[in-house]
Amino acid sequence: MEQTYYLIIMGALLVEYALSTISSTLNMNSITEKIPDGFQEYYDEEKYSSSQAYLRDKTRFGLFSGTFGLCVTLFVIHTGVFGILDDFSREYSNHSITAGLIFFGILFIFNDIINIPFSIYSTFVIEEKYGFNKTTWKTFLSDKIKGYGLTIVLGSMVIIPVLHFFDAYGANGWWIAWALITGFMIAIQPLFVHVIAPMFNKFEPLGEGELRSSIEEFASKVDFPIGRIDVMDGSRRSAHSNAYFSGFGKSRRIALFDTLLEKHSTDEIVSVVAHEVGHYKKKHVISGTILGILETGLMLFIFNYFMRDQALFDVFGVGEVSVYGGLVFFGMLYSPISLISSIFTTALSRRNEFEADAYALETTEKPEPLISMLKGLAASNLSHLTPHPLMVFLSYSHPPVSERIAAVRET
């Protein structure tokens, strides 16, 4: 059985790496010499050339970091690092939960140390090169410290009860842990709006004026109970433009990046708001949460049958079973299912984006502002206008901008 586990894990790692490498390479090579029809007003030759160079730099960097990550993973698996870490955790504490926290904590620190140089290069070299980076070193370090604090607090809130339930209730632990995680997934929405997001960005109510009046008029027209319409200081970190919807009930928030307000007209921004309201009206947030809950339940249910199989632990050079080790090792064993489910969820996300666009068009009855907004966002973010279908299939949560525009015109 150990050999079977090993082959599944190695196969999943290598297949995922191969798919990522092939799709990224094809995507990088799918650039066109001429600006696609309909975008000449938003891209000149210089800007279009910059978007292609941006794609190549990001892709090559992604290929390098992906290869490095695979090498580190293979090294850790084949040199018994997990066994050494498990022995250290058990020597430091004979309590399973404390040992588990040590185990997870060291893994997190090790992983973060490896990723920090890549994060720095991405932010301060690639994003800086193309004029997107606005992050200072002070902000970068502050974000890191806050992220560590959130990881410790929120991670402990989930990990400690999960380890306890599986230890204390055995075969029944999975559904108790599932209930806990379900509650956390629901609670994290208002927590994100009121606590987490304000830790990293400033949110100010959209001021009185033409834009707010137009948004309120639209909201009244479609019977959308506005929670909050906020302007977020996205320019503090990046010149990229965006908007998002989050939260449930009174915690609903539409957040508009300040960079969005600087570059687009009232009608265009209302079309963005209409798109975000479309996600709410079509219940995309709720359905996505439910899907995540069901997937988590499935994973925990299957994990229940593998968590104490010594053969799985033998693959990683760990001599004694544990719930915390089982969670990490099963995650790798589960990766083929994760890969398939991720393809499904990204396809669902792309469908949701089409639905939200259709809703925005239906309710605003103004196709041109929506189209010009899509083109403007693509241009300001130096988006790839002709992505390869394999890359879209595997990882695009949003349809290519040309497909979204075509769908709007056909509606």
Model confidence pLDDT, tens digit, residues 40-74: 888 888 899 999 999 999 999 999 999 999 999 99
- Determine which one of 16, 86, 230, 357 is catalytic: 357
Find out whether 408 and 370 touch, Cβ atoms under 8 Å. Answer: yes
Report residue 182's pLDDT band, with 50, 70 and 90 as the boundaries.
very high
Give residue-wise pLDDT tens across range 206-261: 888 898 889 889 988 998 877 778 888 888 888 787 777 776 666 577 888 888 88
Find out whether 243 and 254 touch, Cβ atoms under 8 Å. Answer: yes
Question: In the predicted model, what is the mean pLDDT of residues 314-326?
Answer: 91
**Partners of 231 in the β-ladder:** 204, 256
Q: Does 329 lie in the same domain as 396?
A: yes
Q: Does 248 lie in the same domain as 167?
A: no
> Residue 217 belongs to what domain range?
203-280
Name the residue among 392, 382, 380, 378 with its Cα closest to residue 49: 382
Of the residues 256, 280, 304, the one at which a domain ends:
280
Of the candidate ranges 12-26, 239-253, 288-302, the one whose mean pLDDT is the lowest: 239-253
The CATH number for 218's domain is 3.30.2010.10
38, burial (CB in 10 Å: exposed 0-12, middle 13-18, buried 19+): middle
Question: In the predicted model, what is the mean pLDDT of residues 325-331?
Answer: 91
The reported pTM is 0.88
Find out whether 392 and 400 touch, Cβ atoms under 8 Å. Answer: yes
Give residue-wise pLDDT tens across range 354-363: 999 999 999 9
Q: How far is CA 194 from CA 203, 228, 235, in A?
A: 10, 11, 21
Name the more confident of 251 and 275. 275
Say which amino acid occupies 139: T
Q: Does 288 lie in the same domain as 403?
A: yes
Maximum Cα interatomic distance, the chain, rounded to a whole number of Å = 67
What are the contacts of 138-142 at 24+ separation with CB within 8 A?
A: 139/236, 139/237
Q: Does 375 lie in the same domain as 264?
A: no
Residue 188 confidence (pLDDT): 84
Find out whether 285 and 245 touch, Cβ atoms under 8 Å. Answer: yes
Rounded CA separation 276/292 (Å)? 20
Q: Does 232 lie in the same domain as 83?
A: no
Which two structure tokens, joined as six digits, stand for 106? 């060291």
Q: How far is CA 1 from CA 5, 61, 187, 323, in A?
A: 6, 37, 40, 19
The CA-CA-CA angle for residues 217, 220, 226, to 5°, reads 100
Q: How many independent structural domains does the chain possess?
A: 2
Give residue-wise pLDDT tens across range 77-130: 999 999 999 999 999 888 889 999 999 999 999 999 999 999 999 999 999 999
Which two structure tokens, joined as six digits, stand for 266? 């009232």
Q: Which DSSP letter does residue 248 get?
A: S
Rounded CA separation 101/96 (Å)? 9
Radius of gyration of the chain, Cα coordinates, nearest whole angstrom: 23
Residue 193 confidence (pLDDT): 80
Of the residues 248, 280, 312, the one at which a domain ends:
280
Q: Does 317 lie in the same domain as 216?
A: no
Name the more confident of 171 and 409. 409
Residue 352 confidence (pLDDT): 96
Rounded CA separation 51/290 (Å)? 37
Residue 247 confidence (pLDDT): 64
Q: Does 242 lie in the same domain as 374?
A: no
Q: Does 285 lie in the same domain as 161?
A: yes
Q: How many C-beta atoms lie closer than 10 Å to residue 210's C-beta?
A: 9
The CA-CA-CA angle for residues 201, 202, 206, to 5°, reads 130
Q: Does 212 lie in the same domain as 259?
A: yes
SS3 state at 158: helix
How would you label 160-199 residue by residue, b for 16+ Cβ within 10 Å and e otherwise?
ebbbbbbbeeeeebbebbbebbbeeeeeebbeebeeebee
pLDDT reading at 24 higher than 80: yes
Residue 107 confidence (pLDDT): 94
Report residue 372's pLDDT band, with 50, 70 and 90 as the boundaries.
very high
Rounded CA separation 81/200 (Å)? 35
Of the residues 280, 295, 313, the one at which a domain ends:
280
Q: Does 189 lie in the same domain as 125?
A: yes
Could you give the residue ranges of the DSSP H alpha helices within 231-316? 258-263, 266-281, 284-306, 310-315
Residue 271 confidence (pLDDT): 93
Reply yes or no on whether 357 is catalytic: yes
- Determine which one of 86, 127, 276, 353 is catalytic: 276
SS3 state at 95: coil
Residue 235 confidence (pLDDT): 83
Rounded CA separation 367/68 (Å)? 45
Q: Does 307 lie in the same domain as 376?
A: yes
Q: Does 330 lie in the same domain as 219?
A: no
The residue count of the chain comes to 411
**Partners of 246 in the β-ladder:** 253
